[in-house]
Every structure is written in C-alpha cells, then in structure tokens.
Amino acid sequence: MERRASALDKDHQAVLESYILLLVGFGCLVLLTAWLPMVLTRAPLSLPIVCVAIGACVFALPGVQASVPHPQNHLTVVERFSEMVVIISLMGAGLKLDRRIGWRRWVLTWRLLGIAMPLTIIGLALLGYGLLGLSLASALLLASVLAPTDPVLAADIQVGPPNSGEDGDTRFALTSEAGLNDALAFPFVHAAIALSLASASGQPWLLHWLGVDVVWKLVAGLAVGIVTGYALGYMVFHLPNRAGLSRTGDGFVALGITCIAYGAAELVHGYGFLSVFVAALVLRMQERDHEYHTRLHDFAEELERLLMMALLVAFGGALSTGGLLQALGWDGVAFGILALFVVRPLSGWIGLVGAGLPGDKRAVISVYGIRGVGSIYYLSYGVGHGVFAEANLIWSVVAFIILVSIVLHGATASPVMVWIDKRREARQVVPREQAT
C-alpha cells in the first residue's frame, strides 16, 4: 500500500509540475505577445519569425521532444485551433477596412479573386501533378490549400486601424483579398475531397458539389453575414437609451459577434469564414466613424496575436521535433520555390493587367501573397474529410512554403511597405504642387 501511495504521489507531483510549467509558459507567451511587436518595430524580423524560432528551440530541448507531434496525428485539434485564429483575424480585417463596398472601389479585390486566384490554383495543381507526381485529387487539394493569402500573418502589409487613413491601394488590395479568399478557396477544397472519395467509390459528385459546396454554401454564408452584421450593428449602435452595446466600451464584444456570425453560418451549412468577414464589413457600415470600431478592432487584433503566437510556437516545435518536413525532397523544395516566386506573382500580375496601377504597386500586390494559418486549417480539414494517400508529402510541402513565406515576407514586408507608402505620398504631393 505504501509503495502504491508513493507511486500515486509521484504521478500527482509530475502532473502538478507539468501544470505549473504550462502556466509559466503561457505567462511568458502573453508577455511576449505585448512586448515583441514593440521591440521588433525596426528589426529585420517579424513576430511570426520569432514565434517559429522559439517553438523550434524550446521543443528541441531534452524532455520536451514528444510535446508537439505531427499534425497529421491530431487533425481535429489542429483544425479547430487554426479555425479560431482565422475567424478572429477575419473579424479584425473587416472592421479596419475604411473603403465602402462597391464594384469600382473594390476592383483590385475582384481581379485578385476572379482572375489571380483561379490561375494560382490551376498553376499549382499542374505543378503538383507533374512535378510531385500527386494524384489529381491530392494536387487539387495542395493547390486549394495554398491559393488563399493569409489574413493572420499579413499585419505589416494590411491597412491600419479604423479611420487611420492607412488604406492605400496596395494595403487595401492585400487586406480585402485575404479577407475574402479564405472563404472562396473552400469550394476548391471540397472539390478535392469529393474527387478523392469518388475515386474510391465511383459515385458521381459534380452536381452535388456545384449545387451545395459552391452555390448554397456561398449564398448562405453571404446572407448570414449580412443579416448578422445588420442585426448586431443595430444592437451595438442603435438601441435606445443605455442599451446600446457600444456604450459598454468593451472590446470583447468583437469575439461574441465573430462566434455568432460563424456559428450561424455553419448551422445552415454555409461558409462561416465568408459570414464573419461580411458581418464585420456590414457592422463597420453602421456608424462608420464611431470610435467604438477602433475598440472592437484592437481587441480582435490582440486576441488574434496571442492565438497566432501559440499556434506558430507549436508549428516551430512540429518542424524541429514532429517530423513535419520529413517527407520533403528536392522536388518539394522546387515546388515551393516555384509556388512563391513564379505562380503567385505571375498570376497576380496577370490579374491586375488593366487596373491602372503603377508597376511598383502591382509588383508588391502580386508578390506578397503570404501563406500561413489559413493553409494549415484547410489542409487539416481536407485531409480529415477526404482520402489522400500523399497526405504526409502535402503536409511537408505546405509546411516548407509557410516557413519560407514567414521568413522571407516577414523580413521584407515592413521596409517594402514603408517604401510603397512614401511613393504614394510623393504621388499625392506632386499634383498638389502642380495645381498651385
């Protein structure tokens, strides 16, 4: 009995020590979330780069190696956590867009979504099929996963907070594209899933995919976003007397709006990502210049940054100890380089032909299609719902592309955007001087 009690005491002590270490680690993560952005303002580094490096180093320490397994072994956890990071990011992105919705005002966005994104999917799918030797379903999944630009890791290239005036064409195009293409990539992911299942069962899938995964889910997500945005906008800004939520000044209202918009869309089998972003845009239309929008945006951004850091620390651990890059070969490296430096830039450049943009803006918009948390979500969702024999290879290729994107885009985005902003200001000054 004494030995058994002693063993139980040791187990309890081990659990307690793990809990305490977890608390300490979480506390450090929260402090770093607040401190690092300030420290890295002028450094050739970004917050995501540092997070990945911290995860890679910490989980490589003796006794910690088994803490971050390959995401393929925990698809549900990876899917749900990355899903939460993305929807919080989409709410923040929608709230900070000052430009009203319109065909001409959003023409750059429509071009990137309607031309550049399909071209990117076609190019990546052909590369995956020809260079990596993937099946058609796996090649389409890989292309669909990498097609959307990321709203989470793109803070340095996005517009500023609400009513800040930081909404030039370059920043606006990249922000609005990231907000919408996370939802518009979903039909292609569903096509890859349906194709993988049909190859095994032989069941027809095209009509169901067109009717449900394309038409219904997009329309339902859009409708729920509009209704939710107007209804919650009324509750926030237009309820009489002291009942308006804006009078509370609480930023966490943004979290409630995000969850309601996403959950309502998913309940009617619509695309929740689309619903959240549209709800944020419609909410912003209510009392557009109200200072409460800034409070909502700031809370969403802070929560997004905290969740992003936790996810990227785990991503770094999976890279160093989880075997996430184990299936990567030279063909995968070549695919990643072509995807980042040829397919996306060329597709973006073609999509913006005739948009009337100067070459520098067009180049930056085309090149800075950052890949990140959205790709992690789509891949975990796709692999969890379909049958893909090459799943480990796809994970390794996607992880490599995310890593390169984080390092390359993260190190260059800030100085490039400063350069673009200065050139935009110079273009605005010249006409004024000529007018005088």
Flag whether 40 is in a domain.
Answer: no
Of 368, 365, 347, nearest to 356 by C-alpha is: 365
pLDDT of residue 69: 77
pLDDT of residue 117: 93
Q: Residue 433, SS3?
A: helix
Task: Using the Cα atoms of residue 230, residue 231, residue 233 and residue 238 in order, give the sign of their dihedral.
Answer: positive
Q: Is the pLDDT of residue 245 over 80?
A: no
37 versus 178: the higher-pLDDT residue is 178
Averaged over 218-247, what is the pLDDT?
85
pLDDT of residue 81: 92
pLDDT of residue 132: 93
Please, which contacts does 238-244 make with residues 24 or more away whose CB atoms are closer than 8 Å? 238/286
Q: Is the pLDDT of residue 88 over 80?
A: yes
Averaged over 114-124, what is the pLDDT?
94
pLDDT of residue 143: 95
Averaged over 53-79, what is the pLDDT?
79
- Name the token pair of 357: 């943009």
pLDDT of residue 363: 87
Q: What is the dihedral of CA 330, 332, 333, 339, to 10 degrees?
A: 150
What count of residues does the chain have? 436
Share of the chain above pLDDT 90, in %: 40
Kindly report which listed range (24-38, 105-119, 173-187, 190-204) carries the lowest average pLDDT score.
24-38
Is there a contact between 390 and 138 (Cβ–Cβ < 8 Å)? yes
Flag whether 124 is in a domain.
Answer: yes
Residue 198: C-alpha distances to residues 102, 137, 217, 410 (Å): 40, 10, 21, 40
Q: How many angstroms separate the CA atoms of 217 and 73, rounded?
A: 29
Q: Look up the domain containing 162 and give its range.
A: 47-428
pLDDT of residue 321: 83
Averaged over 232-256, what is the pLDDT?
79
Averaged over 92-114, what is the pLDDT?
89
Q: How many angstroms separate the CA atoms of 282 and 279, rounded?
A: 5
38 versus 35: the higher-pLDDT residue is 35
Kindly report which listed range (155-159, 193-197, 222-226, 408-412) carries the lowest average pLDDT score.
155-159
Q: How many angstroms separate the CA atoms of 31 and 25, rounded?
A: 10
Q: How many angstroms separate the CA atoms of 406 and 118, rounded?
A: 23
Q: How many angstroms separate the CA atoms of 369 and 185, rounded?
A: 14
Q: How many angstroms separate the CA atoms of 23 and 61, rounded?
A: 18
**Predicted confidence (pLDDT) per residue in 126-177, tens digit:** 999 999 999 999 999 999 999 888 766 666 677 778 877 667 788 888 888 8
Flag whether 137 is in a domain.
Answer: yes
Averaged over 389-397, what is the pLDDT?
93
Q: Residue 54, SS3?
A: helix
pLDDT of residue 425: 66
Is there a contact between 374 and 152 (Cβ–Cβ < 8 Å)? yes
Q: How many angstroms separate the CA atoms of 69 and 76, rounded?
A: 13
Q: What percentage of the chain's residues is helix, strand, coil (to nearest 5)? A: 75, 0, 25
Q: Is the pLDDT of residue 15 over 70?
A: no
Mean pLDDT, rounded, of the chain = 84
Which pLDDT band, with edges at 50, 70 and 90, does 27 fall under? confident
Flag whether 434 is in a domain.
Answer: no
| Domain CATH code at residue 64 | 1.20.1530.20
Q: How many angstroms separate the CA atoms of 225 and 178, rounded?
A: 17
Flag whether 295 is in a domain.
Answer: yes
pLDDT of residue 435: 47
Flag whether 417 is in a domain.
Answer: yes
pLDDT of residue 431: 52
Q: Is the pLDDT of residue 247 over 50?
A: yes
pLDDT of residue 265: 96
**Predicted confidence (pLDDT) per residue in 356-386, tens digit:** 888 888 888 888 877 788 899 999 999 999 8
**Predicted confidence (pLDDT) per residue in 295-320, tens digit:** 888 889 889 888 988 899 889 988 88
Of 382, 377, 375, nearest to 398 by C-alpha is: 375
pLDDT of residue 116: 92
Flag whether 171 is in a domain.
Answer: yes
State the residue for tokens 């023409």: 107
Q: Is 136 left (phi over 0), alpha (psi -120 to 50) or beta?
A: alpha
Q: How many domains does the chain have?
A: 1
Q: Is the pLDDT of residue 1 over 60?
A: no
Flag whether 38 is in a domain.
Answer: no
Q: How many CB atoms lie within 10 A of CB 124?
A: 25
Residue burial 21-53, b: 16+ Cβ < 10 Å; e: rest = eeeeeeeeeeebbeebeeebeeeebbbbbbbbb
pLDDT of residue 9: 56
Q: How many angstroms separate the CA atoms of 348 and 366, rounded?
A: 4
On the CB side of 242, CA atoms within 13 Å amount to 0
Is there a contact between 97 and 167 (Cβ–Cβ < 8 Å)? yes
Q: Is the pLDDT of residue 14 over 60?
A: no
